[in-house]
Amino acid sequence: MHLSPHSLRQIDDAYLQSLEVEALRGLSARLLADLKEAWDRLNQGPENSSRPPSSRAPWERPGGVRESDADAEADAEAADGDLEPAPVEAKPAEAKPAEAKPAQTPAARKPGKQPGAPGIGRTQVFPANAEQAHYPDTCAGCGRPLAPAVAVAVAYTGFQAVDLRWDDSARPGLTLWVVDHRYYETPCPCGHRTRAVAGHGVVDSLLAGIELNEWRLVGPGLAALIVALALRFRLSRARIQEFLAEGLGLDLSIGTIHQTLHEASAAVAPAEEELVQAVLDSALLHADETSWPEHDHTLWLWVFVAATATLYYVAGRGKERVENVLDGFTGWLMSDGWGSYRHYPRRLRCWAHLIRKARGLAQSGDREARAFGQWVLTTLEALMAAVYAAREGPPPVDLPTQHAPLLAALRAACERGQGSVHQKTHALAVELLNDWEAIFQVLSHPELPLTNNAAERALRHWVILRKLSLGTRTAVGSRVVALLASVIDTCRQRGHAPWRYLERAIADRRAGLPLAPLPQ
Hey, what amino acid is at 382? Answer: A
Binding piece for Zn ion, criterion CB under 5 A, among 186-194, 273-281, 296-304, 410-418: 186-194
> Considering beta carbons, is residue 26 or 158 the nearer one to Zn ion?
26
Closer residue to Zn ion (CB): 188 or 348? 188
Which 200-229 positions form the footprint of Zn ion (CB under 5 A)?
none
Give me the sign of the Cα torsion angle 342, 348, 352, 355: positive
DSSP letters for 252-289: --HHHHHHHHHHHHHHHTTHHHHHHHHHHH-SEEEEEE
Interacting stretch for Zn ion, rule CB under 5 A, among 56-64, 86-94, 139-147, 486-494? 139-147
Tell me if 376 contacts Zn ion by CB under 5 A. no
Q: How far is the CB of 512 from Zn ion (least distance, A)?
A: 23
Cα gap 256→151, rounded to integer Å = 37
Q: Which stretch binds Zn ion (CB under 5 A): 157-165, 188-196, 260-268, 330-338?
A: 188-196
CA 185: distance to chain centroid?
35
> Facing residues of 314 across strands?
301
Choices 134-142, 312-320, 351-359, 475-483 (CB under 5 A): range interacting with Zn ion: 134-142
Between 142 and 491, whose beta carbon lies closer to Zn ion? 142
Residue closer to Zn ion by CB (options 136, 220) is 136
Q: Closest approach of Cβ 96 to Zn ion, in Å?
A: 19
Q: Identify which range of 138-146, 221-229, 231-239, 339-347 contacts Zn ion by CB under 5 A.
A: 138-146
- In this structure, are residues 163 and 180 in contact, taking their beta carbons and an 8 Å threshold? no
CB of 185 vs Zn ion, minimal distance in Å:
13
Q: 142 or 301: whose CB is closer to Zn ion? A: 142
- List Cβ neighbours of 75 (8 Å cut-off, separation of 6 or more): 54, 66
> Looking at beta carbons only, is 190 or 384 nearer to Zn ion?
190
Is 188 among the residues that bind Zn ion (CB under 5 A)? yes
Applying CB under 5 A, among 139, 155, 218, 476 the residue interacting with Zn ion is 139
- Outline where 327-474 has alpha helix (H): 351-362, 367-392, 399-402, 404-418, 423-434, 436-444, 453-469
Told to check if 192 binds Zn ion by CB under 5 A, we report: yes
- The least distance separating Zn ion from the CB of residue 197, rounded to whole angstroms, comes to 17
The Cα 391–Cα 395 span in angstroms is 9
In terms of CB distance, is 24 or 307 closer to Zn ion?
24
Stretch that binds Zn ion, among 183-191, 240-248, 264-272, 375-383 (CB under 5 A): 183-191
- Of these, 52, 81, 121, 141, which contacts Zn ion (CB under 5 A)? 141
E strands in 83-153? 130-134
Question: How many positions of this chain bind Zn ion (CB under 5 A)?
Answer: 7
Minimum distance from residue 103 beta carbon to Zn ion (Å): 24
Q: Which is nearer to Zn ion, 184 or 312 (CB)?
A: 184
* Least Cβ distance, residue 489 to Zn ion (angstroms): 50
Nearer to Zn ion, 152 or 190 (CB): 190
Q: Using CB under 5 A as the criterion, what x/- string covers residues 1-40 for binding Zn ion?
A: ----------------------------------------
Q: Are the C-beta atoms of residues 376 and 424 closer than 8 Å to each other? A: no
Cα separation, 491 vs 268, in Å, equals 12
Residue 19: CB minimum distance to Zn ion, A: 8
Measured CA angle at 160 (ends 159, 165), to 5 deg? 140
Give me the 83-122 binding string for Zn ion, x by CB under 5 A, dash otherwise.
----------------------------------------
Distances (CA, A) of 179 to 88, 151, 429: 12, 22, 67
Q: Name which of 192 and 286 has its Cβ closer to Zn ion.
A: 192
Q: For residues 196 and 287, which CB has a smaller minimum distance to Zn ion in the complex? A: 196
C-alpha distances in angstroms, 477 versus 265, 266, 288, 322, 488?
Answer: 10, 11, 21, 21, 17
Alpha helices per DSSP H over 143-292: 220-227, 237-248, 254-268, 271-281
Q: Is 474 exposed, middle or buried (0-12, 13-18, 19+ CB in 10 A)?
A: middle
190 is an interface residue for Zn ion by CB under 5 A:
yes
Q: How far apart are CA 174 and CA 165, in angstroms?
A: 7
Q: Give the range of 115-123, 144-152, 176-184, 374-382 binding Zn ion by CB under 5 A.
A: 144-152
Asked if 140 interacts with Zn ion (CB under 5 A), we say no
| Long-range Cβ pairs for the range 120-126 (8 Å, 24+) | 120/82, 120/83, 120/84, 120/85, 120/86, 121/82, 121/86, 122/82, 122/85, 122/86, 122/217, 122/251, 123/251, 124/250, 124/251, 125/88, 125/160, 126/160, 126/162, 126/176, 126/178
- Residues at the site binding Zn ion, with contacts judged by CB under 5 A: 139, 141-142, 144, 188, 190, 192
